[in-house]
Amino acid sequence: MKMNVNPIPTLDERINQIRDTTARIINNEILPNERALWALRRNGDASDSDRGRARELRLAVQAKVKQAGLWAPHLPPEYGGAGLSFLEHAYMNEVLAYCLGAASLFGVVAPNSGNQKILLKYGTEEQKKKWLVPLTEGKMQSGFSMTEPAQPGSDPRSIKTTARRDGDDWVLNGHKWFTSNGKRADFFIVMCRTEDPDGPSDGHGKMTQIIVPKDTPGVKVIRAVEVWGHDSDHCEIVYDDVRVPAENQLGRTGSGHAAAQERLGAGRVYHCMNSIGQMWRAFDLMVERATMREVHGGKLETKQFIQGFIADSYIDIQAARLMTIHCAEKMDGGGDPRTDISAIKVFVPAAYHRVVDRAIQVWGAAGISGDLPLAAMYQGARTLRLADGPDEVHRILIAKNVLKRYHAGESWDFGN
């Protein structure tokens, strides 16, 4: 089934054009080759020739994306990107995410994309040349190393990894895990505490991000953590007296927490627009199956349970979509989006989870087979309720922001 993307009359022409071009590439180049592009086989492992063909196919699609001027939409042209505005990129993501994995063919791959944003904003010209440009050209890979096994990732102020100044160097010691891209990465951006971890601290002003090439002595990738019963590239890493030059520091000392929040803030909106694109795909699959499958003397679409799934999924998608667009517009307009970012971070992954769950139910056993993307989506949706801050933390933030207003004698601005 092809995705159906029509112009949205309230959007400017450029955004509609970007969405249209993206949809054409997805429909014509990616969906017909969805399995071959990632060398996915129905029976057994992919052969070397499957993998070789997959590489060739991916390069051909990437060339078309570049020709269409949509490569690396999150970066400015002077660093090899398409130079899309925040809103343009957000709207594009909804279309792009219709096919799982398509973003990588457009030069947007987490965690590289978040790291590119940090390098762009906090990096020196030298750092941009050395790390950002090769990342964008696909000549390097990177990881973002913040979460630690012994500390709660949902409270990043508790990080224990230290960086100590020694002459012209930083010396890092610590233990991280769930550093995505750990096996592939050429360098990590490591979140470190740059003060005595046991001293008094409010935490926020004590964090600094430092670039660590993976081949630096003392960087030990212990293992890739198995996720959902599969091999992954989310790695456990020990930094043991790792010495890097002081010029590898990103931004000023103590700016690490603010930089991480910025990275995550915009990233959460992009992730939510991605989730919405995937919800549309799950929805299309669900409705398509409901109109074709005969059970107990009638098509699934005639059963009221299934009609309920269709209606509830439509409501979930539209609610998620409007909340996310509202948040993106607020960010674009320079408003304070923090409460809305937390709201979409709670609502959208849960809605995505519900929609995919219903689509799987309608498809029966096929829903969890490797023949459809639904099982992968289901795992992705569940994971999103943990990654980038678990639901509970965002609920607490929403309540805190709202209550603060009322304690200051104001009510919430409902029009905002």
Site residues, ligand FAD (CB under 6 A)? 111, 144-147, 152-154, 178-180, 227, 234, 383, 386-387, 389-390, 392-393, 396
Residue sitting closest to ligand FAD (CB) = 153
Residue 227 or 311 having the CB closest to ligand FAD: 227
Residue 21 or 401 having the CB closest to ligand FAD: 401
Residue 153 or 337 having the CB closest to ligand FAD: 153
Residue 29 or 388 having the CB closest to ligand FAD: 388
Give the whole-angstrom CA distance, residue 278 versus residue 94.
Answer: 8
* Neighbour count for residue 301 (Cβ, 10 Å): 15
Instruction: Find the shortest distance in angstroms from Cβ 116 to ligand FAD.
Output: 14
Closest Cα partner for 213 from 190, 233, 188? 188
Instruction: Find the shortest distance in angstroms from Cβ 346 to ligand FAD.
Output: 12
Residue 70 or 259 having the CB closest to ligand FAD: 259
Residue 145 or 209 having the CB closest to ligand FAD: 145
Q: Are 143 and 174 in contact (CB under 8 A)?
A: no
Give the whole-angstrom CA distance, residue 129 versus residue 124.
Answer: 9
Instruction: Find the shortest distance in angstroms from Cβ 290 to ligand FAD.
Output: 31
Residue 19 or 257 having the CB closest to ligand FAD: 257
Instruction: Find the shortest distance in angstroms from Cβ 132 to ligand FAD.
Output: 18
Backbone angles phi, psi at 235, to 5 degrees: -105, 150
Element at 165 (helix H, strand E): strand 162-166
DSSP letter at 230 equals B
DSSP string, 2-55: -------TTS-HHHHHHHHHHHHHIIIIIGGGHHHHTT--SSSPPPHHHHHHHH
Give the whole-angstrom CA distance, residue 283 versus residue 291.
Answer: 12
Instruction: Find the shortest distance in angstroms from Cβ 146 to ligand FAD.
Output: 3
Instruction: Find the shortest distance in angstroms from Cβ 204 to ligand FAD.
Output: 16
Instruction: Find the shortest distance in angstroms from Cβ 143 to ligand FAD.
Output: 6
Residue 292 or 396 having the CB closest to ligand FAD: 396
Residue 219, class by beta-carbon neighbours within 10 Å (0-12 exposed, 13-18 middle, 19+ buried)?
Answer: buried
3-state secondary structure 363-410: HHHHHHCCCCCHHHHHHHHHHHCCCCCCHHHHHHHHHHHHHHHHHCCC
* Neighbour count for residue 366 (Cβ, 10 Å): 16
Instruction: Find the shortest distance in angstroms from Cβ 97 to ligand FAD.
Output: 17
